């Protein structure tokens, strides 16, 4: 069983090697944490935006697509 795990994951690294090259072994963890934070932040930002200019929408219509909802925004009339 240990041979199969070592073949998939790779050989164990000694503590001395980890201490000698700490940045090399911490970089993947740091990148995964940054990616996770960016994914969480992206939940609150629009993924897509569409602006329609048509006779039905003389002042335009903007639609924003979020992860869990669509938002339509009409410009306020000034008159």
What is the predicted pLDDT for the residue at 6?
A: 80
What is the predicted pLDDT for the residue at 66?
A: 92
Cβ atoms < 10 Å from Cβ of 12:
9
What is the predicted pLDDT for the residue at 52?
A: 87
d(CA 79, CA 68): 34
Q: Name the one residue in this structure whose structure tokens are 């240990």.
A: 2
The DSSP element (H or E) to which 62 belongs, if any, is strand 57-65
Domain boundaries, the chain: 2-42, 44-79
d(CA 21, CA 7): 23
Q: Specify whether the CB–CB gap between 60 and 52 falls below 8 A.
A: yes
Consecutive sets of 10 residues in the chain, 79 residues long: mean pLDDT of each?
80 88 93 97 93 85 92 70
What is the predicted pLDDT for the residue at 62?
A: 92
């Amino acid at each position: 069983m240990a041979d199969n795990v070592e073949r998939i994951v790779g050989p164990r690294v000694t503590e001395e090697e980890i201490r000698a090259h700490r940045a090399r072994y911490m970089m993947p963890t740091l990148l995964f944490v940054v990616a996770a934070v960016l994914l969480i932040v992206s939940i609150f930002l629009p993924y897509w935006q569409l602006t329609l200019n048509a006779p039905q929408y003389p002042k335009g219509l903007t639609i924003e697509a979020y992860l869990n909802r669509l938002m339509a925004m009409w410009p306020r009339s000034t008159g």
